[in-house]
Amino acid sequence: MNTSFIGFAVLAFLAIVLLIEAVYLFWSSRHGTAVKRMDERLRALTAGGNISTEQLSILKQRLLSDSPFITRLLLHVPRVHALDRQLQQSGLRWSVARFATYTLLCALVGAVLGFLIQAPALVMTALAVVPGLLPMMILRRKRAKRVLQLERQLPDAADLISRALRAGHSFPAALGMVGEELPDPLGGEFALVFDEINYGVSMNDALLNMVNRVPVEDLRYFVIAVLIQREAGGNLAEILGSISSIIRERLKLLGKVRVLSAEGRLSAWILGVLPFAILALLSLLNPGYISVFWKDSAGVQLAAGALTMMLFGIVWMRKIVRIHV
């Protein structure tokens, strides 16, 4: 076999291996797990809004959009910062501009669908509004799921801080240990508090920022207990141990309530979805039979009244089956 050909094959093999390694390193440096976690912590550093202007200069600002022009437009929208905080609390990597884009696209798809089936103005409006609410529904569901995870992780965090204090560690060091030991989402929040303290933010402000980022009442009580102990003194390790026990008992009671109310919640879901499912099924099986609801004026009025009463019933059933503990 030709020696030059063998050398060329070996060099080609090495070049391919090095190319694959370069692509892998480039991807890891931009989209790796550690990089994503650090980027989330840096983007969330100023979400609390409780620190002074001088301290804000050392922290990375959370942007509403990548475009300065769109950011200026969004700043004129009412409650845009509240929406941005909800996006952060949900754990989604969406900016406000991306959320608005998804909402407009979903509404546009619904409007185009209504135009294709030649629906009347009222039905076309409903077809545009309902899909436009889909991103908000995803946001609310993600936020609720993340809040539930935070509530379940909080007793472990309080126990870990209590054991660290009994072992002789300082409170900021205990916060850093929680950020390293606990998984996300609560581990990332405590790591963010630890980073803010290292960047020069006072401990009180860093803890209050975490309260604003995390909508969990138990965490608010946890922070209040820590702040009171810093002012009045006392055994913080014992206080955190008591808080951990109280949170666990509350979650245990909440689990029992959810089990006992499961039948009512399932009935509410069935009663809420069944009319719309039957309407969709009849529209597919016999379109001429159900088309009277949007072709006849009396049918449109009946459909509007029925929809209003259905929505009222859904809201009422939701309030009945939601039991707060």
**Do residue 268 and residue 301 come from a single domain?**
yes
* Sites in the chain below the pLDDT cut of 50: 46-60
SS3 breakdown of the chain: % helix, strand, coil, rounded to 5?
Answer: 80, 0, 20
Cα separation, 323 vs 219, whole angstroms: 20
Q: How many residues does the chain have?
A: 325
DSSP assignment of 81-101 equals HHHHHHHHHHT----HHHHHH
**Do residue 177 and residue 246 come from a single domain?**
yes
Decide which of 253, 281, 301 is a domain's last residue: 253
Q: Which CATH number covers residue 216?
A: 1.20.81
Task: Write down the pLDDT at residue 166.
Answer: 92
Task: Write down the pLDDT at residue 47.
Answer: 43
In a domain, 271, yes or no: yes
Task: Write down the pLDDT at residue 51.
Answer: 38
Give the amino acid at 56.
Answer: L
Q: 196 near 56, Cβ under 8 Å? A: no
In a domain, 25, yes or no: no
Output the six-digit token pair for 75: 């700043």
**Do residue 83 and residue 160 come from a single domain?**
no
In a domain, 37, yes or no: no
Residue 50: CB partners within 8 Å, gap ≥ 6? 205, 208, 209, 212
**Do residue 94 and residue 163 come from a single domain?**
no
Task: Write down the pLDDT at residue 234.
Answer: 82
In a domain, 279, yes or no: yes
In a domain, 14, yes or no: no
**Do residue 95 and residue 186 come from a single domain?**
no
**What are 282-302's pLDDT values in tens digits?**
878 887 777 777 777 887 788
Cα separation, 124 vs 28, whole angstroms: 46
**Do residue 183 and residue 241 come from a single domain?**
yes
Q: 140 near 92, Cβ under 8 Å? A: no
**Do residue 271 and residue 315 come from a single domain?**
yes
In a domain, 220, yes or no: yes
In a domain, 33, yes or no: no
Task: Write down the pLDDT at residue 36.
Answer: 66
**Do residue 239 and residue 285 come from a single domain?**
no
**Do residue 160 and residue 249 come from a single domain?**
yes
Decide which of 201, 226, 253 is a domain's last residue: 253
DSSP state at residue 199: T
Torsion angles phi and psi, residue 118, rounded to 5: 55, 50
What is the three-class DSSP state of 230?
A: helix
Domain count along the chain:
3
Domain assignment of residue 237, given as a range: 148-253
Task: Write down the pLDDT at residue 142.
Answer: 92
In a domain, 53, yes or no: no
Decide which of 213, 229, 253 is a domain's last residue: 253
**Do residue 116 and residue 188 come from a single domain?**
no
